[in-house]
Amino acid sequence: MDTADAASGDHSAGDITDGFHLLIDALKLNDVETIYGVPGIPITDLGRMMQEEGLRVLSFRHEQNAGNAAAIAGYLTKKPGVCLTVSAPGFLNGLTALAHATTNCWPMILISGSSEREVVDLMQGDYEEMDQLAIAKPLCKAAFRVLHAQDIGIAVARAVRAAVSGRPGGVYLDIPGALLGQVMDAVEGAQSLVKVIDPAPAQHPAPEAVKRALDVIKSAKRPLIILGKGAAYAQADDVVREFVEKSGIPYLPMSMAKGLLPDGHDQSAGAARSLALKESDVVIMVGARLNWLLSHGKGKQWGPAHSTRFVQIDIEPREMDSNVEIAAPLVGDIESCLSALTKAMGKNWKTPPAEWTDAVREKRDANVAKMAPSLQNNASPMNYAGALGAIKRIIDKNPETMFVNEGANTLDFARSMVDMHRPRKRLDVGTWGVMGVGMGTAIAAAVESDLPVLAVEGDSAFGFSGMEVETICRYNLPICIVVFNNNGIYRGTDVNRAGGEDPAPTVFVEGARYDKMMEAFGGVGAYATNPDELHQAVSDALKSGKPTLVNAVIDPAAGKESGNIGSLNPTSVVVKRMGGKVLEIIKQKASR
């Protein structure tokens, strides 16, 4: 860390500064340019001053959406995305996004105003009194509280370094309201600011670890590379491509790693996922984790128990052996580890047996060919394949478009049906599978990339953050939202089993017009009943750059329970009764 140069001529003897300006100056010194948040006591004036001092301040309708924007900003930029909230309930709303960022390993800082310590510690009932620091600590990577103006600079520096160093994550910074009004000598204040130097240095793997990993890879007859979103976050795209192509090994991209190499790449095993996982004998994990998304590295998705050997590249040593034995752990940053592996392969590297690579390629091509006709249908109302076929054609033609995706069926089908061609262009629900990230993610994607955004949302997922269409219109962002409207969660055809007047828990208002929401705030609304209409509406929206919402009518019966993760629902015993007598006992999946 390096202290800021106070001899800039900006301050003279006798000048004073305050907590507001010290916090702003500390953030700017560390290259923070954008603030996502919701104004209110005690940070309203702070937001105004931030804007006045040249920071871009985007004001949302709900803190969780602002936090989701900050989280994905961290992923896209490798710098901490900053979310600013009010105390207590505002802090709690932002905390979900902070935990989401930490789980996904994205750098983010949540800054929240808070009540004074003297009142909180004695539990005297202050306005929105809450011990926010204690609540935040278990849910993020680090948490700090600042009590004195002269400590603001070091606190911001520690937050920045904690967020981006090692395995990135979320950091909480607690700002009691009185701190902002504290004053001190301006020259001393400038001297107290800290510029973080080299917050995320390269971490090279040990030579013996590289040799071990290479020996395991050489022993494989059916190797597979799995690229996780950590590989995309690393922004070492050329290094990843060189390693994959030199190795000749088929690769499987996880959802947000799609496009790191184009989905149409000759070595892509994305459309042959089941075969690739089940038959592989050595798997190289690059920025991916053996969590629930990969069945923890065991079970039916994989081959015989303990038959697969794993090489894992991760910057966090504690990730190794989290579910199964890792035969060759490579601890370090992705660029350094892959560079070392590629160099160690040498000029005479032997690619995998053609029997294996041909089998993966043939299965992939067969699955793609099998799916192609369903993606071309023009049924009305639409099914998911027809609707996503229209979206696929748009992304194929506009590969730089930022593609945001969430829902149950909308998310699960899009993962396999919509190809990505550029890195970090697919943004979705991440490790937790959190619904409601869509609008915050779309807004940050537009702001941070300066590219058009296409957000494809299930109608249920859209409901979590739909009011942010006003935010999109207010800032005139080039975002096209497509709501796949099937009148409910999973399907719109469920019935009230009690026979009462209330609709079933998973059913929404039939024929809802989400497009009218966008029109209400000055954006463009469109209505599509078949894939051709959907293709035209989205194409027009991307060309215009205007905030647009397309209400895409999906057959209410087209979806399925829990999308493709119904296996996670616990089995329960359901007893059917009538008149006090047991009529039937059935085992069924209980909805999550």
- List the CATH number of the domain containing 255: 3.40.50.1220
Q: Other CB atoms closer than 10 Å to residue 435's CB: what's the count?
A: 20
Q: Which pLDDT does position 229 carry in this prediction?
A: 97
Indicate whether 24 and 56 sit together in one domain: yes
Flag whether 371 is in a domain. no
Indicate whether 526 and 574 sit together in one domain: no
With 0-12 / 13-18 / 19 or more C-beta atoms within 10 angstroms meaning exposed / middle / buried, residue 55 is middle
C-alpha pair distances (Å), 342 with each of 202, 217, 223, 267, 350: 17, 12, 16, 17, 12
Contact predicate 406/428, CB 8 Å: yes
Flag whether 146 is in a domain. yes
Q: Which pLDDT does position 190 carry in this prediction?
A: 97
Give the integer Cα–Cα distance in Å for 440 and 466. Answer: 10
Indicate whether 48 and 187 sit together in one domain: yes
Q: Other CB atoms closer than 10 Å to residue 301's CB: what's the count?
A: 13
Domain residues for the domain of 153 are 2-195
Of the candidates 516, 285, 439, 323, the one whose C-alpha atom is nearest the C-alpha of residue 527 is 516
Flag whether 168 is in a domain. yes
Helices (H) and strands (E) in the chain, counts: 22, 23
Q: Cα 396–398–357 angle (5° rounding)?
A: 35
Radius of gyration, CA atoms only, the chain: 26
* Domain final residue pick, 145, 161, 195: 195
Q: Which long-range contacts (CB under 8 A, 24 or more apart) does 187-190 make?
A: 187/6, 187/11, 187/12, 187/13, 187/15, 188/6, 188/150, 189/11, 189/17, 189/21, 189/22, 189/25, 189/149, 189/150, 190/4, 190/5, 190/6, 190/8, 190/10, 190/11, 190/17, 190/25
With 0-12 / 13-18 / 19 or more C-beta atoms within 10 angstroms meaning exposed / middle / buried, residue 294 is buried
Indicate whether 338 and 385 sit together in one domain: no
C-alpha pair distances (Å), 324 with each of 290, 294, 319, 348, 501: 8, 12, 11, 32, 51
Contact predicate 547/524, CB 8 Å: yes
**Residues facing residue 577 across a β-bridge:** 582
Residues 6+ apart with CB under 8 A from 570: 589, 590
Task: Tell me the per-residue pLDDT of 136-174, one tens digit each, with 9 for 90 and over.
Answer: 999 999 999 999 999 999 999 999 999 999 999 999 999
Indicate whether 256 and 188 sit together in one domain: no
* Domain final residue pick, 143, 161, 195: 195
Which residue has 């040990």 as its token pair?
206
Q: Token pair of 46, please? A: 């702070």
- List the CATH number of the domain containing 101: 3.40.50.970
Indicate whether 167 and 276 sit together in one domain: no
Of the candidates 453, 447, 497, the one whose C-alpha atom is nearest the C-alpha of residue 475 is 447
pTM of the model: 0.94
H or E segment at 140?
none
- The total domain count for the chain is 4
Q: Other CB atoms closer than 10 Å to residue 117's CB: what's the count?
A: 15
Q: Which pLDDT does position 576 carry in this prediction?
A: 53
Contact predicate 296/290, CB 8 Å: yes
Flag whether 514 is in a domain. yes
Give the integer Cα–Cα distance in Å for 222 and 217. Answer: 10
Of the candidates 198, 199, 252, 194, the one whose C-alpha atom is nearest the C-alpha of residue 227 is 252
Residues 6+ apart with CB under 8 A from 133: 114, 143, 144, 145, 172, 174
Give the integer Cα–Cα distance in Å for 574 and 28. Answer: 58
Query: What is the widest separation between alpha-carbon atoms in the chain?
Result: 88
Contact predicate 214/238, CB 8 Å: no
SS3 per-residue string spanning 324-370: CCCCEEEECCHHHHHHHHHHHHCCCCCCCCHHHHHHHHHHHHHHHHH
Strands 309-314 and 402-406: unpaired
Flag whether 364 is in a domain. no
Indicate whether 554 and 579 sit together in one domain: no
Indicate whether 553 and 579 sit together in one domain: no
Flag whether 190 is in a domain. yes
Residues 6+ apart with CB under 8 A from 204: 332, 333, 336, 340
Contact predicate 155/146, CB 8 Å: yes
Phi, psi of 162 (to 5 degrees): -65, -35
Strands 16-18 and 183-185: antiparallel
Q: In this structure, what DSSP letter does residue 259 have? A: T
Indicate whether 354 and 386 sit together in one domain: no
H or E segment at 170?
strand 170-176
* Domain final residue pick, 134, 162, 195: 195
Of the candidates 6, 97, 84, the one whose C-alpha atom is nearest the C-alpha of residue 46 is 84
Q: Other CB atoms closer than 10 Å to residue 552's CB: what's the count?
A: 31
Query: For 41, how many CA atoms within 13 A lie in the half-sphere containing its CB?
Result: 6
**Residues facing residue 189 across a β-bridge:** none
Indicate whether 447 and 532 sit together in one domain: yes
Write the single-letter amino acid at 4: A
Q: Other CB atoms closer than 10 Å to residue 334's CB: what's the count?
A: 26
Instruction: Report the chain (592 residues): mean pLDDT per 10 consecutive residues.
Output: 45 87 98 97 94 98 98 98 96 98 98 87 81 96 97 98 98 95 97 97 98 98 98 98 98 98 97 96 97 90 88 97 96 98 96 98 97 95 97 98 96 96 97 95 98 98 98 98 96 93 95 98 98 98 98 94 68 52 47 32
Q: Which pLDDT does position 573 carry in this prediction?
A: 52
Indicate whether 525 and 419 sit together in one domain: yes
Indicate whether 173 and 232 sit together in one domain: no
Flag whether 470 is in a domain. yes
Flag whether 367 is in a domain. no
CA 18 from centroid of its chain's CA atoms: 36
Length of the chain equals 592
